[in-house]
Amino acid sequence: MKHIKTKTNSQLAAHYAMMRRIRTFEERVGELFVRGESAGSMLHLSIGEEAAAVGVGSAMRDGDTFTTHHRGHGVFLARGADPRLMMAEIAGKESGYCSGKGGSMHIADMKLGHLGANAIVGGGIPTVVGAGLAARHKKSDAVSVAFFGDGATGQGILYESMNMTALWQLPVLFVCINNQYGMGTRIDNATAVPDIHKRAAPFGLKGASVDGTDVESVTAIAGEMLTDARAGKPGLLVVDCYRFFGHARMDKSPYRDDAEEVEGRLRDPVVKARQTLISRGEISGGSLDEMDQQIAAEMDATIDFAANSREPQLDSIFEDVYDPKTPPPESVRGRLSRILRQTR
């Protein structure tokens, strides 16, 4: 995770800085979308879920791998991603992490252990089973972490993955970021038992839930469960939080009333960390304001970087799609030209 200089050695101050970076990045991504400069028609913001990303991300080690769902910008940032390359990727630019081919919902970077975001609900979960098996065969102490939303708890692939992980005692941690809504359906309208962490026990996994507004609590329990996973004791961690905005950027949340949203947004992990830092006397409000301004400037620059980056060239369309040793397929235009020449 990127180290951010603060005027204190407090771990909470560093967590606050990263959560503020995630919050501000997501706000700038929303601006990019409104300006019509993001690639694709869907954008899913993780505002309100910052403590989940930072708490678990900070407890992970270099060499650990992970997958995310479609709402995974914050997790990737917490694991050290460059926000400029992320913004460029979301804008579909050549300088992005995946040269503009992955976009918001399919971004990946092997160097940082990001095995890929996935737009299919639960689609990335089984990947960590394979990564965990590979880590064990290599006799490494790496753990693979699957980040997913509460909507994925209705997918059979989650339970198949949990079962195989427990059966083989793989170094894997399943992290459900429960923001209370799978698209427009509340968790208590989707399942008769909304205590998701209780689903771990029947598979022989350790299950735990934690307040997703408290980044220190998330960090502590994630650290314990990651240590267990490295020892062949995988688990399921549920981080309870609240999705501040709609499922996607254009979703106005007509299925939630105003009172619920006001109450939900009071569960703000960024504000809570700020208030805790000030009340403990670890850092002043003025210093936090200064930090916020520096982060805002950093994220403003990501917009400029994306806007000034080059669009992918047409002849690069098959790069990173086929094996590098395989000649790229002939283009439609080239094939038609060749056929026409032959008929003359």
pLDDT digits (tens, 9 = 90+) for 19-50: 999 999 999 998 888 788 788 767 889 999 99
| pLDDT attached to residue 328 | 75
Cβ 175 vs Cβ 148: under 8 Å: yes
Q: Which residues have CB under 8 Å from 162's CB, separation 6+? A: 174, 199, 200, 203, 205, 236
- Reading the block at residue 251, the tokens are 């979703």
Provide the whole-model pTM.
Answer: 0.90
pLDDT of residue 205: 97
Q: What pLDDT shows up at residue 5? A: 56
| Tens-place pLDDT, residues 268-281 | 999 999 999 999 99
Q: Are 163 and 212 in contact (CB under 8 A)?
A: no
End-to-end CA distance of the chain: 62
pLDDT for the residue 1: 44
Reported residue count of the chain is 344
| Orientation of helix 215-230 relative to helix 50-59, angle to 10° | 40
- Residue 8 has a pLDDT of 64
The separation between CA 315 and the C-alpha centre of its own chain, rounded to angstroms, equals 31
| 268 in Cβ contact with 214 (< 8 Å) | no
Q: Give the C-alpha separation, 51 to 24, whole Å.
A: 14
* Per-residue model confidence (pLDDT) at position 334: 84
Distance separating alpha carbons of residues 88 and 200, to the nearest angstrom: 38
Q: Backbone dihedral region of 122: left (phi > 0), alpha (psi from -120 to 50 degrees) or beta?
A: left
Contact 302, 84 (CB under 8 A): yes
Q: If one looks up domain 11-343 in CATH, what number appears?
A: 3.40.50.970
Average pLDDT over every residue of 152-157: 95
Mean pLDDT computed over every residue of the chain: 92
HEC string of the chain equals CCCCCCCCCCHHHHHHHHHHHHHHHHHHHHHHHHCCCCCCCCCCCCCCCHHHHHHHHHHCCCCCEEEECCCCHHHHHHCCCCHHHHHHHHCCCCCCCCCCCCCCCCCCEHHHCEEEECCCCCCCHHHHHHHHHHHHHCCCCCCEEEEEEHHHHHCHHHHHHHHHHHHHCCCEEEEEEECCEECCEEHHHHCCCCCHHHHCHHHCCEEEEEECCCHHHHHHHHHHHHHHHHCCCCEEEEEECCCCCCCCCCCCCCCCCHHHHHHHHCCCHHHHHHHHHHHHCCCCHHHHHHHHHHHHHHHHHHHHHHHHCCCCCHHHCCCCCCCCCCCCCCCHHHHHHHHHHHHC
Nearest alpha-carbon partner for 157 in 195, 191, 127 = 127
Q: Which two tokens stand for residue 4?
A: 């951010």
Q: CA–CA separation, 209 vs 195, rounded Å?
A: 8
Q: What is the pLDDT of residue 70?
A: 93
Please, are residues 267 and 242 in contact by the beta-carbon 8 Å criterion? yes
Q: Which of 116, 180, 128, 176 is nearest to 152 (CA)?
A: 176
The one-letter amino acid code at 75 reads V
Half-sphere exposure of 61 (CA within 13 A, CB side): 13
Tens digit of each residue's pLDDT (9 = 90 or more) over 300-319: 999 999 999 999 988 787 78
Name the percent of the chain lying above pLDDT 90.
72
Per-residue pLDDT, 174: 98
CB 336 within 8 A of CB 120: no
Per-residue model confidence as pLDDT tens digits over 155-208: 999 999 999 999 999 999 999 999 989 898 888 888 888 899 999 999 999 999
Query: Which amino acid, one-letter code, is at 56?
Result: V
Q: Give the pLDDT confidence of 101-130 residue by residue, as tens digits.
A: 988 899 999 999 999 999 999 999 999 999
pLDDT surpassing 60 at residue 210: yes
